[in-house]
Structure 1
Amino acid sequence: MAEDLLSGKVALITGASSGIGAAAAKVFTGEGARVVLAARREDRLAALVEELRAQGAEASYVVADVTDGEQAARAVQFAVDTYGRLDAAFNNAGVGGDRTPMHLMTDDVYDTLMDTNVRSVWNCMRHEIAAMLAGGGGTIVNNSSVAGLVAIPTAAPYTASKHAVVGFTRAAADEYAQQGIRVNAVAPGTTRSEITADWFGRNPGLEDMVNSMTPQGRTAEPEEIAAAAAWLLSDRCPFLTGTVMPVDGGFVNQ
């Protein structure tokens, strides 16, 4: 019988209170990982950790806004202090945003997207890499988007932010390839979450339109994105680094 993908690994998940992050907590522990969940909403984190522990998983949480460098450092240190090391990290914290023509975008929209989608990854990676170097290596997966691979009309700052995540991923993969650290990214297509539910709810017919642009003709479930991240974080793909994996039902393949 094959060993679980993440058996014995200590994994940090950011943006873990909902959506893909919460799904990752369940998928990773199901694959044998001990997890530290980081997000801003303590009530959600506490409930999720309680659920995981009730199922026999080893899970802890730390309240952190990883757009702040000190809080990102604290989250990484909490993982090391709690479990003795950090083997894997899924930098998932991010935000979407409404579709608006570029010339009508405001500075606050740009700033929020760049802080949440880019600065958070920058903050986390610096401290995760330092911990992994001290521990002899590790794996990192960043959550980008299909918008990190192709242009999404009327979403210029979001598209730019997700391209930046791809840039960080490739740069770090190259820089630390000979130091035992692999860095990859997932690029999800439209994925079911509270954010997309709200988005679709405010825009009747939008889900059908988006699905019609996807060869598989549907919206992804968050567990499908989490499963791809788990594989990238595992030892099953030791020669894979600097890769951005579309998990998009074929969207960017058209």
Structure 2
Amino acid sequence: MSLLAKRRLIVTGASSGIGHAAALLFAREGAHLILCARNAERLAAVAEEVSSLGGEVHCVSGDVALAATHEACVAAAQDAFGGLDGAFNNVGMVGPMAPLADIAPADFAEVLAVNLVAAHHAVRAQVPAMLAGEGGALVFTSSFVGNSVALPGMGAYASAKAGLTGLVKSLAADYAHMGIRANALLPGGTDTAMAGSEENKAWAAGLHPMRRIARPEEVAQAALFLLSDMASFVTGSSLWADGGNHATKVQAPW
């Protein structure tokens, strides 16, 4: 049985990395998809892949830091599929790396706008549409950074990603009784463009007891669980999909 059969879902950050992997996985599980990213050309290529799997898909190119982008995604879901059942709000940015007191206010604000304020824009657009139907599920990509540890130079990113864990708890308090679930997904290091060079990826692998970073498909599988009925009694939670990163930073002797 398909886990997302005929679920009408939005996936942001769908043109690459975790969002790309999620779009393909969700399509295989029967979802109808609205894909969103800034790069229209790459987004169209992902949509072609989804279509080749038999999935129904429409694209909205835009900046998630703008409320209008989320409103356009919801309108597209309503026009194409008749409503909205959930979303994987997956966009993020690290921003300039520097000690916290050296981060310019404009840079700090931009990182919060993309990682945290955008999540509120998503909520304002998505929740009313879901309440008009039978509820559903929302997933927000957070991070181990800011929740289990901080990393040097990433204070803005840590602040924003920590805020998402509070946001999903608030959504649970406000809307769980109305049939809406909301959870944060906390990946560790993942093999995406954000991970940087091979040297950076090797360094990140050393933070994980599994001694590697995740494939994007592995994180997408965790998002699939949270969006599906397998997680029907899960809301307001933070799901670690980080290879044990949050549990220990001790280098094993073997």
User: In which range does the TM-score fall when normalised by the shorter chain?
Assistant: over 0.9
C-alpha separation in 2, matches of 1:213 and 1:46: 35
Structure 1 segment 36-115 matched on structure 2, within 5 A: 36-115=34-113
- Following TM superposition, where does structure 1 have runs of at least 4 consecutive aligned residues deviating by more than 6 angstroms? none
C-alpha separation in 1, matches of 2:7 and 2:143: 26
Give the match's secondary structure for 1:230. Answer: helix
Structure 1 segment 97-136 matched on structure 2, within 5 A: 97-136=95-134
Question: What amino acid does structure 2 have at the position aligned with 1:243?
Answer: S
Native 8 Å contact 1:14 1:93 kept in 2: yes
Instruction: Say whether residues 1:14 and 2:12 are aligned partners.
Output: yes
Native 8 Å contact 1:148 1:166 kept in 2: no
Q: Which moved more, 1:207-216 or 1:132-141?
A: 207-216
Q: Please point out which of 228, 234, 245 is paired with 2:228.
A: 234
2:151 aligned residue: 153
Native 8 Å contact 1:148 1:187 kept in 2: no
C-alpha separation in 2, matches of 1:207 and 1:14: 24
Give the match's secondary structure for 1:120. Answer: helix
Q: Please point out which of 222, 234, 237 is paired with 1:243.
A: 237
**For structure 1, which runs of at least 5 residues remain unmatched after alignment?**
none
Q: Report the CA distance between 1:98 and its aligned residue.
A: 4.7
Native 8 Å contact 1:148 1:165 kept in 2: no
C-alpha separation in 2, matches of 1:241 and 1:192: 27
1:177 aligned residue: 176
Q: Which moved more, 1:240-249 or 1:148-157?
A: 148-157
Q: Report the CA distance between 1:81 and its aligned residue.
A: 1.1
Identity of matched residues, %:
36
TM-score, normalised to structure 1, is 0.93
Question: What amino acid does structure 1 have at the position aligned with 2:127?
Answer: I
**For structure 2, which runs of at least 5 residues remain unmatched after alignment?**
249-254
Q: CA RMSD in A?
A: 1.3
